[in-house]
Structure 1
Amino acid sequence: MASLSVTADALFVFGVVALALVLFVTEFLPIDVTAIFLMVLLMVFGSDGVVNLSQISATEGVSGFSNPATITVLAMLILSSGISRTGLVQILGRKMTAFAGTNRDRQLLATIGVAGPVSGFINNTPVVAILVPVITDLAHAGKTSPSKLLLPLSYASMFGGMLTLIGTSTNILASDVSARLLGHPFSMFEFTSLGVIVLIAGSLYLMTIGHRLIPERVPVDEDYVTEYAIEEYLTEVVVEPDSPLVGQTVGTAIDSVEFDADILQIVRDGEEYIEPLAQMTVHEGDLLRLRADRDTVSQLADRDTLTLTGSPPQTEAELEPETESAQTLVEVVIPRGSFLAGKSLASSTFRQRYDANVLAFRSRGETVRDHMDRRTIRAGDTLLIQAPPDSIDRLSDNEDFIVAHEPDEPHYRSEKIPHAIAIMAGVIGVAAAPWATLGSALAGVTGVAAFQSLAALSLPILVTALAGVVAMVATGVLDPTEIYDAVEWDVIFLLAGVIPLGMALEQTGGADILGTLVAMTGLVLPPIGVLWVFYLATGIITGVISNNASVVLMLPVAVEAATQIGADPFSFVLAVTFAASTAFITPVGYQTNLFVYGPGGYKFSDYLRVGGPLQLFLSFVTVAGIVVIWGV
């Protein structure tokens, strides 16, 4: 057992790690900004900075941007976007809907059966983003609470993400770290056997125990007015002839700074208007449907000569115009990287850009119904909006939003499905095929030495993924401008920022110190017990910080601990990777959990209630699988 010798350099890096944990947990800054701040801090106190405490040079500090893992993740996000634009996943979702019908068990089986396998070959984050509206519509059509299906959707995508190297960005990053520490990067199907075991075991849990633990947070009947309890915030008023509102436009009629109110509709001469209202002039006798609390309405009535009708809309059907067949009330989820994340409704151009009214929103389990303009919108928040059908279509086409309802006329490039499938098959096939082995075998059988040159076809996933991006643009699967929208830049900046932190932990000896401390558990536990401790510790840490950050921090420590107790470091690398890629116990540890947080109406405790037993169950399954397949 190595002795503990804590240097000033190691103490500094421990301080940076502690600061990182605080910032990630509190979300004082967006996670990508936090990562860049940490990178700058390491460089300022690095070998090219004011004092060499982090042992990170400026070149090493920015190396995360050129790291193969970062570039590979970037390329895979673009490829996943190309697949989604063809509508392939949505088509599978419709077939799933036809299979499931109104039977809840079949709905759950179909959700897991599509999300799991597909997530092995398309990055699981966009898979969930694509399937949220499909599953929500499936639930409502089958008279099932969406809460019963959306959390299993997120969990199943995590199971599936562990089928291949490209299933999740965490796998790609872990492969790069493993290559640096052990000289052993992951092959495409390195851990597929274990991934299949995890997928089957996790699916059985969801089908038998998990779905019984999930509460029905969202009512079966699709009525957003009731679900969000905004009846008390909907009012109808009539504009009197002497009202100062007469002659003003809707956009200027109500002072949004003084009054927390929005004009949702105008009813004039029996005709209902919802779009676009901002430039519409208010006339005497108009009936205005407002979103406002009772005190605000009372003040408006006194000041602006408005008369309450006494019959405000109480249901979604009453709030939607009878002449409109399309849905005008929808939920919109804010993913990480959205232009709205970190802003308020007042400081953004959301309303003006989409002619949309926000009636309420859910944020971390809280439903906000008043004074919404000044509240900061966070990733994972779900807005209940009223918008015309064309605005909803534009929201659906925008990567900044996840609309929890499939558009009636989706704009898919279904004619490009064969191209997209062929390109993805080429990306995976060229990277995964054992060309050198195949060439040697053919040369031995045929006696033709030229077959040995097949080894030259062996290319890393970085190269094949970038080639796939070029192919998707060349074949028209993606437009050139769409590749920039496809990239989740917050993920890229997060990777670029945390990679130097992992390097600093190694170079200052911090990983050795932490590894020694954990290795002390080997005095009372066998190696398999220490392996299990690492799995659980990684799962807990990932629940409060990002999965990519936890991999960067935990892998060097795991390798050092394994070395000191005489265990196989690669088995420990796999345990950390699987634990970080299957974070079930909180909504903030994994982005897919955030995607379903609002539409499912979940509370924070629901993730621990359902995901806690699942995490513990899979800790035994995964560790046992690693020991049987790779040893320890």
Structure 2
Amino acid sequence: MDMLQAHHPLAQQGLFLLILAGSLYLFISERLRVDVTAMLTLLALVLAGVLDARQALSGFASEPAIIVAAVFVISGGLAATGITERIGQAIGRAAGHSESRAIAVVMPAVAALSSFTHHVMVTAMMLPILTRFARQRGMSASRLLMPMSFAASLGTTLTLVSAPAFLLADNLIERTGAEGLGIFSITPIGLALVAIGVVYMLLARWLLPRRLGALGGDGYLRLDRYRTELVVVEGSRWNTRPMADLQKAQGEGVRLLGWLRDGQLRDDLSLQSSVLVGDILLLEASADALASLHDDPGLDLQPIARYRGQASGDGEAQLVQAVVAPASEFIGHSIRELDFARRFHAVIAGLWRRDGDVPPRLAEARLREGDLLVLWGRPSQFAELAAHHGFLMLVPFAGEARRRVRAPVALAILALTVLAAATEWLPASLAFLLGAVAMVATRCVDVEQAYREIDVRIFVMIAGVIPLGIAMEQTGTAQLLASGLLHVVAGWPALAVLLVMFTVAALLTQILSDAATTVLLGPVAVELAQSLGLAPTPFVVCTALGAVVAFLTPIGHHGNLLILGPGQYRFSDFLRLGLPLTALIALVCAWMSRWLWLGGPLLPGG
């Protein structure tokens, strides 16, 4: 016997169960990050002789891991071109003024967004939009955030690629020799779940808590009232075009406060007036819009254009933020008086102030304690600024440029990617990988940002837990557990067994991720189906659905954790609303899975 290797089936099962117990403990306790736990599990399986090196590393080349990484990049491209932001704002406008209409509009729209992008990203995007929407209309944000978060999770059931659990389920089904799932195989179930979710939330609105929420929309996640000045440069594509076109291109993140032409403040110029080279626009902009304006080759931030030559030093110029400290020597002095460019070789390009007015011209603003300055300069000069007692901190600028002019390209790439995968012209993994590469190649998203968009923890965790499922099958542990479960459900109809698999997964996913739950229970579902002499597909799909759309606690989905604070929700709020909804979803999932893959009736009594 090799070191740590046992060939006897019982010995291998024992070793596997010990490794599994240790993995579950680490996953649940979160003593280590999930990706680190997944890698430790993988190494333990190899050292114990349960898997060989090729099997252990197979997860990194698997379709689920490749598709998940590609979807993160494609989502990043949609965000970087402003598509997701515009859609979110359009949803807010369409929601009207009544609570019921807001729920009826927001939930299907958010679900549709989540079908091809990461649902946590969609939740994060919609969170400030909905909190601001609720405040403006005198509503309670807690009445809207939970339906929105639930809809984001329900939307992941509309396509195969929107949740890792479904990709893992497809991988498992294909390993059994059965036909794999297509990109829209689960869509009928997803459409039914979204419709039921919307109807349920409209009927059960009285169960939603009415709380003010911990944070307002303007202050959450990002500051959005930076004062800056913009100059239209020679050769600008905006020259002679209406100001309305520029504002439309930047979305709702830009507000025109004043317009200087030939050094004179002009009251007669409006959004319909043409922009000319040399015009200076006095603006209030969000962080993303300010970064986008700075990134536009036809525009320049006026302070940078004026003092660019004085920003000496090494490295590529960049934007940073600094907070004016209490008792700072800068307090009470105007930006013009400080002569910041000459003194620090950096330029004040923007100003954010929590309360109080700011003069029309940025240079005339007298600094106050707590003012946040957007500085432009070179890294070699920032060391002096960071050490200066006049500032509390020096941090990277929070805004990301939106390449809105490339939005049509990003949409075309997404459409072609989905078409190639849906028609099976290319394997799904290759189609989405090609889509991700196209997003970078067409400069919809920078390659550095594309790498940042990939959640490495999720990628590594998926690559690490796939071998866990292989080991569960190979050691016979899945068959052992299925045999035990079979004794319980022997003689039960297929619908009841499907409900059992959904329920077990729904409970386990409250402490594990949807991917880990699917990997652990998927092989059991396969063995159970084979013992019953039935196709494994509906049992594996029901298991994955239970892992993805169980709303029993706030910890079952990361999106729910995002809204927990802003909505001032309690644990009991999720149980009160989520338990009946999850029970309803379980019945629909089992019923439709039986109809799709076992030839059962679609309508009761059919």
How does the TM-score come out when normalised to structure 1?
Answer: 0.66
Deviation at 1:266, TM superposition (A): 4.4
Alpha-carbon distance in 2 for matches of 1:272, 1:591: 45
- Give the one of 91, 97, 100 matched to 2:92: 97
Q: Does 1:629 align with 2:596?
A: yes
- Which residue in 1 is equivalent to 2:81? 86
Greater shift after overlay, 177-186 or 539-548? Answer: 177-186
Deviation at 1:67, TM superposition (A): 1.5
Q: Cα 1:9–1:538, aligned 2, differ >3 Å: closer, same or farther?
A: same
Does the CA-based 8 Å contact 1:104-1:144 persist in structure 2? yes
Alpha-carbon distance in 1 for matches of 2:421, 2:354: 54
Deviations 1:404-448 (A, max 9, x none): xxxxxxx322211111111111111112126xxxxxxxxxxxxxx
Deviation at 1:321, TM superposition (A): 5.1
- Structure 1: gaps of 5 or more residues: 47-54, 226-261, 280-316, 330-351, 358-385, 398-410, 435-457
Does the CA-based 8 Å contact 1:102-1:143 persist in structure 2? no
- Give the one of 486, 494, 501 matched to 2:461: 494
Alpha-carbon distance in 2 for matches of 1:107, 1:64: 42
Q: Does 1:8 align with 2:11?
A: yes
Deviations 1:279-334 (A, max 9, x none): 9xxxxxxxxxxxxxxxxxxxxxxxxxxxxxxxxxxxxx9974554999x99xxxxx
- Give the one of 461, 484, 505 matched to 2:428: 461
Greater shift after overlay, 422-431 or 57-66? Answer: 57-66
- Give the one of 456, 477, 485 matched to 1:510: 477
- Give the one of 123, 127, 130 matched to 2:122: 127
Q: Does 1:620 align with 2:587?
A: yes
Does the CA-based 8 Å contact 1:116-1:160 persist in structure 2? yes
Does the CA-based 8 Å contact 1:145-1:217 persist in structure 2? yes
Give, as a single letter, the amino acid of the residue that structure 2 aligns with 1:10: Q
Does the CA-based 8 Å contact 2:128-2:217 persist in structure 1? no
- Which residue in 2 is equivalent to 1:412? 402
Deviation at 1:216, TM superposition (A): 2.1
- Which residue in 2 is equivalent to 1:27? 30
Give, as a single letter, the amino acid of the residue that structure 2 aligns with 1:528: L
How does the TM-score come out when normalised to structure 2?
Answer: 0.68
Alpha-carbon distance in 1 for matches of 2:359, 2:542: 54
- Which residue in 2 is equivalent to 1:112? 107
Alpha-carbon distance in 2 for matches of 1:588, 1:273: 49
Give the secondary-structure state (helix, strand or coil) at the position aligned to 2:180: coil
- Which residue in 2 is equivalent to 1:422? 412
Q: Does 1:548 align with 2:518?
A: no
Q: Cα 1:190–1:417, aligned 2, differ >3 Å: closer, same or farther?
A: same
Q: Does 1:478 align with 2:445?
A: yes
Give, as a single letter, the amino acid of the residue that structure 2 aligns with 1:19: G
Does the CA-based 8 Å contact 1:174-1:551 persist in structure 2? yes
Give, as a single letter, the amino acid of the residue that structure 2 aligns with 1:100: A
- Which residue in 1 is equivalent to 2:267? none
Greater shift after overlay, 592-601 or 23-32? Answer: 592-601
- Which residue in 1 is equivalent to 2:148? 153
Alpha-carbon distance in 2 for matches of 1:175, 1:23: 26
Alpha-carbon distance in 1 for matches of 2:452, 2:353: 37
Q: Cα 1:324–1:625, aligned 2, differ >3 Å: closer, same or farther?
A: farther
Deviation at 1:169, TM superposition (A): 2.2
Deviation at 1:121, TM superposition (A): 2.4
Alpha-carbon distance in 2 for matches of 1:264, 1:609: 46
Deviation at 1:130, TM superposition (A): 2.2
- Structure 2: gaps of 5 or more residues: 1-7, 221-322, 341-351, 363-368, 371-385, 601-606
Q: Cα 1:13–1:396, aligned 2, differ >3 Å: closer, same or farther?
A: farther
Alpha-carbon distance in 2 for matches of 1:153, 1:272: 46
Give, as a single letter, the amino acid of the residue that structure 1 aligns with 2:421: A
Give, as a single letter, the amino acid of the residue that structure 2 aligns with 1:499: I
Q: Cα 1:526–1:396, aligned 2, differ >3 Å: closer, same or farther?
A: farther
- Which residue in 2 is equivalent to 1:42? 45
Does the CA-based 8 Å contact 2:9-2:475 persist in structure 1? no
Does the CA-based 8 Å contact 1:90-1:134 persist in structure 2? no
Q: Does 1:202 align with 2:205?
A: no
Alpha-carbon distance in 2 for matches of 1:627, 1:431: 25
Greater shift after overlay, 213-222 or 620-629? Answer: 213-222
Give, as a single letter, the amino acid of the residue that structure 2 aligns with 1:503: I
Does the CA-based 8 Å contact 1:140-1:220 persist in structure 2? no
Give the secondary-structure state (helix, strand or coil) at the position aligned to 1:583: coil
Alpha-carbon distance in 2 for matches of 1:62, 1:269: 57
Q: Does 1:141 align with 2:144?
A: no
Deviation at 1:32, TM superposition (A): 1.5
Deviation at 1:620, TM superposition (A): 1.0
Deviation at 1:141, TM superposition (A): 2.1
Q: Does 1:525 align with 2:492?
A: yes
- Percent identity of paired positions between Structure 1 and Structure 2: 29
Give, as a single letter, the amino acid of the residue that structure 2 aligns with 1:584: F
Alpha-carbon distance in 2 for matches of 1:263, 1:269: 8
- Give the one of 538, 543, 549 matched to 2:505: 538
Greater shift after overlay, 158-167 or 602-611? Answer: 602-611
Alpha-carbon distance in 2 for matches of 1:220, 1:474: 39
